[in-house]
């Protein structure tokens, strides 16, 4: 049997692999893609604390709104002899409750706030509990409370039977939460 020989290739032989130029283009393209991906990771990581800060600010605002809403809404100041029985401001023995705290009253001072209206204008930088102690980890938050007469359904604003409570909490990173609630007088002094 005759043996066939292979003939040698006629053109230049092409080697397999990458040239230096191809390798440099590959490195530049991958480097640009990685820079974009890292930029997204950096922004995502920086913003990942925002939901927690907002939840904390919301918890503070809810707590303060509950605290204010649970206070009595009476015609007379809490120290008045007729506070539990006065059917109108005319029934107060001495002190009709007005918006804002009475002189000397405070959230954690003696005498303490004894009426929803007393919280109007309260501002705190760094959150403190009812005993006046700073709450750990909440020093970067601030809160303010506004209480104002409001119209609500068939209740006229001038009657004083409905109050709008606005609690605003600001925190780190520009976080701001505002909650609004209403406190009504259902019957004279029904909430004592």
94-109: pLDDT as tens digits: 777 777 787 888 887 7
**Mean pLDDT value across residues 167-172:** 95
80: how many CB neighbours lie within 10 A of its CB? 20
Q: What is the pLDDT of residue 2?
A: 61
Q: What is the pLDDT of residue 142?
A: 95
Q: Dihedral angle at the C-alpha atoms of 106, 107, 112, 113, nearest 10 degrees?
A: 90
**Mean pLDDT value across residues 54-64:** 94
CA separation for the pair 122, 109 (Å, rounded)? 13
Q: What is the pLDDT of residue 190?
A: 46
Q: What is the pLDDT of residue 170?
A: 95
Closest CA to 184 of 100, 107, 74, 63: 74
Q: What is the pLDDT of residue 67?
A: 93
Checking 81-85 for CB contacts under 8 A at 24+ apart, the result is 83/189, 83/192, 84/189, 84/192, 85/188, 85/189
DSSP letter (8 states) at residue 163: E
CA separation for the pair 139, 2 (Å, rounded)? 97
Task: Report which secondary-structure segment, H or E, holds 24.
Answer: helix 20-47
Please give the C-alpha separations between residue 83 and each of 27, 77, 96, 111, 188, in angstroms, as whole numbers.
81, 7, 9, 16, 10
> Does residue 192 surpass a pLDDT of 50?
no
pLDDT band at residue 80 using 50, 70 and 90 as cut-offs: confident
Q: What is the pLDDT of residues 107-145, one digit of tens each?
A: 877 778 888 888 999 999 999 988 888 899 899 999 999
Phi, psi torsion values for 184, nearest 5 degrees: -120, 160
Checking 97-103 for CB contacts under 8 A at 24+ apart, the result is 99/147, 99/148, 99/149, 102/77
Residue 162 near residue 182 (C-beta atoms within 8 A): yes
Q: What is the pLDDT of residue 191?
A: 46
């Amino acid at each position: 049997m005759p043996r066939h020989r292979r003939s040698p290739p006629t053109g230049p032989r092409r080697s397999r692999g990458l040239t230096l130029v191809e390798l440099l283009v590959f490195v530049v393209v991958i480097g640009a893609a990685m820079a974009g991906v890292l930029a997204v990771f950096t922004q995502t990581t920086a913003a990942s604390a925002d939901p927690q800060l907002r939840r904390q600010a919301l918890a503070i605002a809810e707590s303060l709104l509950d605290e204010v809403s649970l206070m009595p809404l009476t015609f007379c100041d809490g120290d008045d002899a007729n506070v539990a029985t006065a059917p109108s401001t005319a029934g107060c023995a001495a002190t009709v409750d007005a918006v804002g705290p009475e002189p000397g009253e405070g959230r954690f001072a003696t005498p303490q706030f004894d009426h929803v209206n007393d919280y109007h204008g309260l501002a705190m930088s760094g959150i403190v509990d009812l005993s006046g102690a700073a709450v750990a980890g909440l020093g970067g938050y601030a809160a303010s409370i506004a209480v104002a007469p409001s119209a609500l359904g068939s209740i006229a604003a001038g009657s004083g039977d409905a109050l709008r409570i606005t609690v605003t909490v600001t925190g780190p990173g520009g976080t701001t939460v505002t909650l609004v609630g209403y406190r009504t007088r259902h019957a004279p002094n029904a909430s004592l």
